[in-house]
Structure 1
C-alpha cells in the first residue's frame, strides 16, 4: 500500500489495548475526551456498520456475531465468530465516548468472510482439509508471545502468566495516568510482537493490511485527530505499514466463496462464556472481578477484594457451610501478606486465591474447598447480557416467534410439561417445530423420551410425545446464534442436518435422517437416504450397520404419525441395509474381544429380531440371515473361532430364527473362563426366550457341579453379568427350572419402616465411602 504522509500520521493517536482491560478502557475514554478526535477507528468486524443498534440501552455483555455461508464441494457451509463487548472493554468505551462527542466511528478489522476465504486458500495451498467451518465460535484471540519474553519480565515482576504481567503493569495500581499507560502498552505490545512468530503469519498480515488501508482512507478524508484503538500486538505493525515499511512478500490470495452470504447480528452473552474464553477476544478470565475493578475507578481506597471476600463468607454461611472465624482471618491475613510481598498497591484476585489456598485449603480437598469455589464463582461473575427492546434480530428469530404464537404455545419462564397427541394435525405441527428447534440447539423444549430400545412387531407405541416447554432469554440468544445457518427455519435446519451428516459414518447419518423426518423435512430426508445408501454399500462395520437397521426400522414401521411409514424409499433402504448386514455377517472373520464387541452383539440381535418380527412386513430375506448365522456357528475343530461372547450372540440369533438353540451349547462348557462370556452374548440376544426354554442352562448347571473352586471363581464375574441381563420374570423361570420348583416366588413385600431404615443405612454407607476415598459418590 502507498505510505501516508508524515503530516497525516502526526494526527493519529495510537491506543494499544488489551481486550477487556479496565485500565485500557479508562485510558481510551480519557484520551478520546482529551483529543476530541474527528474519527475513532476500532479493531472490530468492519462488516458491522449498524452503530445505531449499539446506541440502544443494552445490558452488557453482548457480542457482535459475524457469519458467512458458502458452498464448498456441493455442500452449504457456515463459519462464524463472536466479538464480545463488556463495560470494561476498551472497544466499548471507545464507541460510547466517541459517539457522545459526535466523532465518526468505524470498525476496521478484516471482514470475517474474507478471513475464512483466506484460510480456505491457505489450506488448499497446503493440500490440507479446509478450515473455517466450526460448531463453536472461531477464536482469533490475543497473540501468544514467545516464551522468552515473559520469562525475562518475570525477573522484574515475578509473574510469567500474560494476564498476571498485564495486571502488574496496568491494573493493580489504579492511578496509572493515560500517558504512562500509552508508554507501557506500546513497549509491551512491541515486545510481544518481536518475541512472537505470529507477526509474519499470513492471517495477521492480512488483518493488519486491511486495518492499515482503513486508517489511510480515513486520514485522506479527515483533517482532525484520529484515534486508533487496536490490540497492542498490532500497533507497531500498523505504524510500519502506514510509514511504508511493510513486508515485501505478497499476501496470499483469498479463494472465491461460491454462494457467499454473510451478515452480522447482536447477541447477548454472559460472564460465564467470557471466563471460559469462548469466542473472539474473550480472553479475560474472572470478568466479574474486572467489572468490579472498572466500576471502582482509579481509587486505591476502593479495594474490591475485601468486599468480595466478605460476600463469599456470607454466601457460605447462608448455605449452612461451616467456615470458622480462624480460617477466614487466616485467609485474609495471608492474602494481605502476599499483596505486600508482591509490592501490590492493593490486594488483587491472585493474592486472595493464593491466600485461601495457602491458609485454608487442605491437601485432601485441593481446589474443591467450598470457600475457594465460592470465591472463584464471584470472580467469574453471574452477569447475563440482554438486548434492548427494538434491537434488530435476524429473520429466523421473527419466523420462529410467529410459528410459536400461531400454534398457541405458551411462553413459560421455567420448564413446563406438555403432552402432544400426534393423531392431531395441530400437535403434529407443534412436534415438527419442537424437533426443528432441538436440531438447532435452541433450548425451547426438552426433547421427548425415545421409543423403547428393543422394537418388535409386538411393541406397543402410543401416539403421544411428552415435552417440557420454556421461553426465556436463552431461547432468544440461541435463535440468534442459529440464524448463521440460514435465513429461514427450514434453511437453517437443513444446513445443520447436512453439516452433521458430514461429521460421521452411516450410524450418524441414520440419526440425522431420523431428525429430518421428525422435523417434517421429507425432501431433505430423501437426499440423506440416498447418501446413506452410498455409505452402507461400502461399509463392513457390523456394529454400525446394526445401528442403521434399528434407526430405519423405527421410521418405516413405527413412525406412523410423522409420515415415514409407507414411504417406499425408506422401506427399500431398510431392506438394502438389512441385506448388507447379512452379507457382512456371512463373511465375518473370527471376532475377538474388544471395545467393538458390544456393538457387534447388538447388531446380531437387531438383525435377528428384525427378521423374525418384521420380515413379512418389510420383505426381509429370513433364509439368507439363517444361512449366514449357521455358517458362522459351524467351523471345523481347531479352526480360529469367535470370541465366546460373540459366539453366544450368534447362537442366540439362530435360536430366535429357528426356535432351537442347537447343540452348540454343551461345547462351550469346557472352559469355565468362557462360560459366563458365552451366556452373556446368548442372553443379550435371546434372554427373553429363557422363560420358554430354561433348559438352555442345563449344560451350565452340569458344568458348575463339576468345577473346582478356582474354575468357579474364574467363571463367576461373567456369569453374574449374563444373568444380570435377565428380567425378574426370566430369573424366576430359571430358578424354578434349576431347583425343580415351578412355583414362582412371591413378590418381595417390604413395609415402609424397613424401607426408611434401609435408605438411612445406604446413605451412611455412601457417606463413609466418600469420606474414606475422598471421591464423591
Structure 2
C-alpha cells in the first residue's frame, strides 16, 4: 500500500513525531524498518529500559571482525521511535535493507578503499553501514539527512575521500535552494521540525523529482531491489504493512518494477557470516562533523526539540546559562529573559515559524556571552552537540572480552564517559594500581581509552596522570581483540607475545618489556625475554643497543613500585651495557653533525639509565668508557662536550679540570663551528652551571667576544639552539651576570665601547620618534 510508506530523515525529531503519530492513527500488522535484517532478533531489546539511546547496532564479520559497521539510533531517530511503538503495541518489526552479510562476502573485499561497498548507502534519508579496513577506526554507517551521496568505506571517510563513481547530490540543499534558503538545515527545521504536521507525501514528490534528474547509484539499485522483494513478501501475507525508510528510497519502492528484474539483480550474491549486537553510542559521533554520513550538525539541539514539549527556546537558554555558570561566567535570569526575547524577535524578522538554533545561538552570544566566541563554542560543544553516552543492558549478547571489560570497569568504578576527563592515579593504592594496569592492557589491544599525560613535577614514580575519553568505535576494537583471549589480561598477554615474536628491531622488543611492566603481563615475559635475547644477539648497531637500555632500566627500577616480578632482566641489561661500552669507541669516529647529535642523545639515555640501575659496578664501567672517550683526539665537539659535562655531573672532574678542557676548543685557531658544537654539547644539560660558575661563564663570554665577525654568522645558529634550550630564569640570570660585569676575566665591570654603543641610535631614534644620545640609551 503506497500510502503507508513513510519517507523520513534519519535522526530528524520532526520525522520521529510524525511517524509515531501516523502509526498510532493507522496501526499496521507489520512494520518494515530500513536496517540490517540480521539484527531482527535484537529488536526485542528496545523494550528494555536499560537500553538507553544513543545506541547503535554493531555488525561485524565473524571471521574478520575488522569488517564492521554501525547503525546508530538516538531518542529522536524516527526508526527508534517506530520500533519502540511497534514493540509496545505488539506489532512485528522487520528490518528490510540489503543484508549486511552480502557486504562481508569474499567478493565484497575486491573494491579499493576509494570505492563504495557492494550495498552502498546514499546519503539521502537513507541508512547503511560503512566498512572499516583492518584496525582502522570504524565510522558510523547511515548516510546523511536528505542528502544523497554514496556511502564510502570507513577508510575513505577517514581520509576525506569521496566516491568517484557517483558525484553526491544533496536533496536538502536542492529543496532549500528552490525555497530561497541558503541553509539546508534551517529549511528542514522550518518545513518539518517546527510545523508539527506530516509532510511524507510532499517529501516523496520532491524526492521523485530529484531522482529523475540525477544518475542512479548502482548500490542504491541493489538495495532497493532487495527492499521491494521483502515488501512483496510481506504484502502476500498481510494486508496492512507500514514502511519506515529514508525518503530517498520512497520513489524506488513506489515504482512498479517486474519481479524478474529484482531477482536477476540479486541472483548469485554470496553471504558472509556476521554477528550483531547493541553498543553504546555518543552524540559526538552522531554529529555530521565527525565524518558520519547520516549525521546532523546539532544532535543535542534535536534531542532538546524532541524531549521538550513547550517553551523550547526558554528552556534551552536556561540550560545554556547553566553551562556558563558552571564555568564561572555570571549569567542571571535577566540574561535568559532578554536572550529569549531577542531570539523570538530574530525569528519574526526572518519570517520563521519559531526561533531555531541559529536564532537562539545568536541571541545567546549577544546577550549571555558578551559576544565572546569561546563562550559560544562552549555552549555548542556542551548543548548543541551534547556529551551524552548511551547504555546497553548487562545481559546483552556480547563477546566474552567485552563482558570481562564491563565487569572490571564496574569493579574499579571506572565508568566510560564520552567527554574527556582527567584521572590522577596513585600506584601505591590497590584500586589505582589495578586501574592503571587495565588502561595499559587496553592500549595493548588498540583500545586507547586512556592517554598518558605529562606528570606534574615532584609527584614521584608512583603517580600517573591520564586523560580518559570513551569512543564508540572501541566496540569494534574489542571484538577484534576477542581473537586473542576471553579476558582483557589474557588477550593483552597473547597480543604482546605475538608482537614480540614478530618484532623486527631491538627497540620494538624493549618497548614490549616496559609494556609488560606497566600492564602487569607476567605470563608474557618469557616470550618477550626470549625475543629480547634473540634480537640483542643479532643486532650489532650501537644506537639500537643504546636505545634499548633506558626502557629496561626503567623496568628494573620501577618494577617494585608496581609490584611486578622482573627477575632475569638484570642479566640481559648488563649484557647490553657491556656491548655498548665495547662498541662506543669505534662508533664515535668520523661523525657528521647529524650522527654526532644522534650519538649524544643515545649516550644521554644510557647515562640516565645507568643512574636508575643502582649497580655500582655497571656505573663504574660506564663512567670509565665515558672518561676514555671524552679525551679521544679528533672526537666531534658535540659528544666531546657532552661527555665532559657527564663526567662533571658524576663528580669525576673538578671545576679546574673542566675549565682547562673548555679552553682547548675555545683557543684561537680552533674552528669556531667545532668550538660551538663543544659548547652546545657541554651546556645541553642546562644553564645553571653558567649561573653558579663565574669562571666558566667568563671563559664562554671571552670566547664569544673573540669570534671573528666573518665566522660569527656560522656559529650563531648553534649558539641560539644551545641557549634557547635554557629555562627563561636561567637565561635571565646569565644575562644579569654578564650585564653586571661578572663575566670579565678580571671580574671587574665590563667596559662599554662608545662607538659601538652609538651605532643603533639612529634606528632607535626612528622607532621612538625623538633623537637619543648615548647616555639616554644606557638609561
TM-score by length of structure 2 reads: 0.66
Q: Does 1:490 align with 2:489?
A: yes
CA separation of 1:564/1:47 partners in 2, compared to 1, >3 Å: closer, same or farther?
Answer: farther
Q: Distance in 2 between matches of 1:632 and 1:249?
A: 79
Distance between the aligned counterparts of 1:68 and 1:577, measured in 2? 49
- 2:140 alignment counterpart: 139
In 2, distance between residues paired with 1:355 and 1:340?
Answer: 13
- Quote the residue 2:300 is aligned against: 288
Note closer, same or farther for the CA distance 1:411–1:22 as it changes in structure 2 (3 Å cut). closer
Whether the 8 Å contact between 2:455 and 2:463 is mirrored in structure 1 is no
- Are residue 19 (structure 1) and residue 10 (structure 2) matched? yes
2:53 to 37, 61, 65: 61
Q: 1:167 aligns with which of 189, 198, 212?
A: 189
1-structure distance, mates of 2:81, 2:410: 39
Q: Is the 8 A contact 1:335 1:354 kept in 2?
A: yes
Which of these residues, 43, 46, 52, is aligned with residue 34 of structure 2? 43
User: Is the partner of 1:224 in helix, strand or coil?
Assistant: coil
Secondary structure in structure 2 of the residue aligned to 1:293: helix
Distance change (3 Å), C-alpha of 1:511 and 1:436: same
CA contact (8 A) 2:55 2:72 kept: yes
Q: Is the 8 A contact 1:442 1:478 kept in 2?
A: no
Residue deviations 1:334-369, cap 9 Å, x none?
Answer: 64454345432222112333455678878xx6622x
Q: How far apart in 1 are the matches of 2:24 and 2:71?
A: 25
Distance in 2 separating the partners of 1:195 and 1:399:
50
* Distance in 1, Cα, partners of 2:495 & 2:99: 23
Conserved 8 A contact 1:46-1:111: yes
Partner of residue 203 from structure 2, selected from 184, 209, 230? 184
Alignment of 1:315-334 (within 5 A): 316=324, 321=329
Residue in structure 2 matching 1:352, options 347, 355, 360: 360
Match of 1:274 in 2: 286
- Closer, same or farther in 2 for the Cα pair 1:531/1:344, shift >3 Å? farther
1:264–1:385 distance in 2 versus 1, CA, 3 Å: closer
The answer for the alignment partner of 1:308 in structure 2 is: 316
Supply the distance in 2 between the matched residues of 1:205 and 1:580 (Cα, whole angstroms): 70
For 1:592-741, list aligned pairs within 5 A: 592=594, 601-608=600-607, 610=609, 634=634, 648-649=641-642, 666-667=664-665, 678-684=678-684, 699-704=699-704, 706=706, 717-718=720-721, 720-721=723-724, 724=727
Q: Which residue of 2 aligns with 1:763?
A: none
- Counterpart secondary structure, 1:66: strand
Give, in whole Å, the separation in 2 of the partners of 1:699 and 1:63: 69
Aligned to 1:121: 109
The secondary structure found in structure 2 opposite 1:50 is helix
Distance 1:515 1:262 in 2: 32
Task: Name structure 1 gaps, 5 residues minimum.
Answer: 1-9, 454-460, 636-641, 743-777
CA distance 1:172–1:494, shift in 2 (3 Å) = farther
CA distance in 2, matches of 1:343, 1:499: 65
1:752 aligns with: none
* Distance (whole Å) between structure 1 residues aligned to residue 78 and residue 301 of structure 2: 16
- Alpha-carbon spacing, 1:399–1:309, altered in 2? closer, same or farther (3 Å): closer
Report how many residues are paired.
684
> 1:367 and 2:373 equivalent?
yes
Deviation at 1:374?
A: 3.5
Residue aligned with 1:44, SS: coil
Q: Deviation string for 1:549-571 (max 9, x for gaps)?
A: 32233235653542234148964
1:171 Cα deviation after fit = 1.8
Q: CA deviation at 1:215?
A: 4.5
Map of 1:97 onto structure 2: 85
For residue 66 of structure 2, give the secondary structure of its aligned residue in structure 1: strand
Q: Matches of 1:685 and 1:588 in 2, distance apart?
A: 24
Which residue number corresponds to residue 242 of structure 2? 227
Q: Is the contact made by 1:42 and 1:91 (CA closer than 8 Å) also made in structure 2?
A: yes
Give the distance between the partners of 2:599 and 2:585, measured in 1 at CA.
Answer: 14
Q: 3-state SS of the aligned residue for 2:554?
A: helix
Report the CA distance shift for 1:574/1:382 in structure 2 as closer, same or farther (over 3 A): same
What is the CA distance between 1:226 and its match in structure 2?
Answer: 2.7
Task: Pick closer, same or farther for the CA change 1:652–1:616 going to 2, 3 Å.
Answer: same
Q: 1:380 aligns with which of 385, 403, 408?
A: 385
CA distance in 2 between counterparts of 1:127 and 1:506 reads 39
Structure 1 window deviating more from structure 2 (349-358 vs 204-213): it is: 204-213
Classify the secondary structure of the residue corresponding to 2:34. Answer: strand
Distance 1:679 1:355 in 2: 60
Deviation at 1:292, TM superposition (A): 2.9
How has the CA–CA distance of structure 1 residues 329 and 372 changed in structure 2, closer, same or farther, with 3 Å as cutoff?
A: farther
- C-alpha contact (below 8 Å) 1:675/1:700 kept by paired residues: no
SS of the residue 1:174 aligns to: coil
- Aligned positions of 1:430-441 closer than 5 A: 432-433=437-438, 435-436=440-441
1:291–1:263 CA distance, 2 compared to 1 (3 A): closer
Sort the Cα spacing of 1:601 and 1:571 in 2 relative to 1 into closer, same or farther, 3 A: closer
SS in 1 for 2:75: coil
Structure 1's 665 and 47: CA in aligned 2 closer, same or farther, altered over 3 A?
farther
Note closer, same or farther for the CA distance 1:324–1:541 as it changes in structure 2 (3 Å cut).
farther
Q: Does the C-alpha gap of structure 1 residues 630 and 619 become closer, same or farther in structure 2, counting only changes over 3 Å?
A: closer
After superposition, residues 420-439 of structure 1 pair within 5 angstroms as 420=427, 432-433=437-438, 435-436=440-441
* 2:303 counterpart SS class: helix
Alignment-derived partner of residue 593 in structure 2: 591
Deviation at 1:20, TM superposition (A): 0.9
Separation in structure 1 between the aligned mates of residue 213 and residue 582 of structure 2, nearest angstrom: 60
> Cα distance, 1:308 vs. partner?
2.3
C-alpha distance 291-323 of structure 1, shift in aligned 2 (>3 A):
closer
TM value normalised by structure 1 = 0.66
Q: Assess, with a 3 A threshold, how the Cα gap between structure 1 residues 480 and 229 changes in structure 2: closer, same or farther.
A: same
Listed one character per residue, the Cα deviations across residues 20-53 of structure 1 (whole Å, up to 9, x for unaligned) are 1012212322333344323222223433322222
Higher mean Cα deviation, 705-714 or 148-157?
705-714
Q: 1:698 to 1:191 in 2, by over 3 A?
A: same
Deviation of 1:95 after TM superposition, in Å, equals 0.5
Point out the more displaced range, 332-341 or 711-720.
711-720
**Matched residue, 1:521:** 521
Aligned-CA RMSD value = 6.2
- Structure 1 residues 328-343: aligned runs within 5 Å: 335-343=343-351
Of 566, 582, 589, 1:564 maps to 566
CA gap 1:633/1:351 in 2 versus in 1, 3 angstroms? farther
Gaps of 5+ in 2: 117-130, 150-166, 748-779
Corresponding residue for 1:200?
218
Alignment CA distance shift 1:234-1:589 (3 Å)? farther
Cα offset for 1:264? 1.8
For residues 376 and 113 of structure 2, the distance between their equivalents in structure 1, rounded to whole angstroms, comes to 53
